[in-house]
Amino acid sequence: MTIFIVAIIAIVSVLQVSSAQIVYADGTDFGLSISQPTQIGCTATYTISYIPYGGFMETVAETASGVPMATFSMGTFFLSVVTTDTLFVSNL
């Protein structure tokens, strides 16, 4: 089994200075889009959509760095259809 690791690095900084509503990233196996955050108090919430390409069917593991504290709803999941996850960034 192959595990693909998606590193979400300093998403907060990228999204706060961007006027775009959604950030996109494309790879050869899958792409992703990240929504602008909703923020309540010291926690920002992002919606991440993963889009598999060309029959991609593998396990994906999410990680985040460059932010104080980050938690993914799923963390690790099997990607074979468009999948949406939530990233919570706290202690902002």
Q: Return d(Cα 86, Cα 35) in angstroms, integer.
A: 10
pTM higher than 0.85 for the full model? no
- Domain locations along the chain: 3-90
How many CA atoms lie within 13 Å of 20's alpha carbon, on the beta-carbon side? 10
Cβ–Cβ < 8 Å for 52, 82: yes
Cβ–Cβ < 8 Å for 50, 29: no
pLDDT in tens, 11-56: 444 444 344 456 666 677 888 888 888 888 889 898 999 988 889 8
Taking alpha carbons only, the member of 24, 32, 35 closest to residue 60 is 32
pLDDT over 90 (residue 86): yes
Cβ–Cβ < 8 Å for 15, 37: yes
